[in-house]
């Protein structure tokens, strides 16, 4: 059985543009959970039900209804991050980037930068910041989400890090020379 280090080396050989140690398919984001234990169980049930209905409304294209449902969930449990994250997505779909960023900031803050909602909010905020040409802030969000286990965020952080990109390019060249030593002698 191969060790974690062996799998990381093999990943670097077969996918040299990924950061070292990033093993495809090992996305911890799916395993993350939010700690809702501090909330009243009945209020939590109501808020979650509203969020599920809000997501369904958004998927059906009724963003106004989705926004109302997410806002109701926030009114019930204003200290719970999930509804802010969901409302941010509906706001983004409506073109309200500033409103979406505000809700994502709140979701990250309330989550304590831990758990599934924090990871999702950081990725979404990173994408919005990247689109707004705020690369350093986007990279910081992606790095934080990557630390929580998001493979996508890890890839985005590398893409925004010029030093990592240079290292990956050099590693790719070394691996190509190892794979085909005759071709490198001709250069």
How far apart (Å, rounded) are the C-alpha atoms in residues 77 and 107?
12
Tokens of 93: 């779909």
pLDDT tens digits along 124-173: 999 999 999 999 999 999 999 999 999 999 989 888 876 655 666 677 77
Q: Which CATH fold would you assign to the domain 28-160?
A: 1.25.40
Residue closest to 11 by CA, chosen among 175, 177, 183:
175
Tens digits of residue pLDDT in 115-125: 999 999 999 99
What are the pLDDT digits (tens) for 28-86? 545 788 999 999 999 999 999 999 999 999 999 999 999 999 999 999 999 999 999 99
pTM of the model: 0.73
Q: What does the pLDDT read at residue 4?
A: 61
CA distance 122 to 24: 20
Domain assignments of the chain as residue spans, ordered by start:
28-160
Give the contacts of 49 (CB within 8 A, at least 6 positions apart): none
Residue 120: burial class (beta carbons within 10 Å; 0-12, 13-18, 19+): buried
**Spatial distance between the Cα atoms of 78 and 30, rounded to a whole number of angstroms:** 25
Give the distance, in angstroms, between the CA of residue 91 and the centroid of all CA atoms in the same chain. Answer: 18
């Amino acid at each position: 059985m191969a060790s974690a280090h062996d799998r990381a080396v093999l990943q670097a050989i077969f996918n040299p543009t990924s950061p070292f140690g990033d093993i495809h398919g090992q996305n911890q984001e799916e395993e993350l959970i939010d700690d809702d234990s501090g909330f009243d169980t009945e209020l939590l049930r109501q808020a979650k039900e509203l969020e599920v209905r809000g997501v369904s409304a958004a998927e059906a294209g009724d963003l106004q209804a989705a926004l109302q449902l997410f806002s109701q969930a926030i009114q019930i449990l204003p200290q719970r991050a999930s509804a802010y994250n969901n409302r941010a997505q509906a706001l983004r779909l409506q073109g309200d980037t500033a409103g979406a960023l505000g809700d994502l900031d709140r979701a990250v803050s309330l989550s304590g930068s831990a758990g599934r909602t924090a990871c999702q909010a950081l990725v979404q905020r990173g994408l919005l910041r990247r689109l707004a040409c705020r690369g350093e802030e986007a990279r910081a969000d992606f790095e934080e989400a990557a630390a929580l286990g998001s493979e996508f965020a890890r890839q985005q952080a590398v893409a925004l890090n010029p030093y990592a990109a240079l290292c990956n390019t050099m590693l790719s060249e070394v691996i190509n020379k190892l794979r085909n030593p005759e071709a490198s002698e001709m250069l």
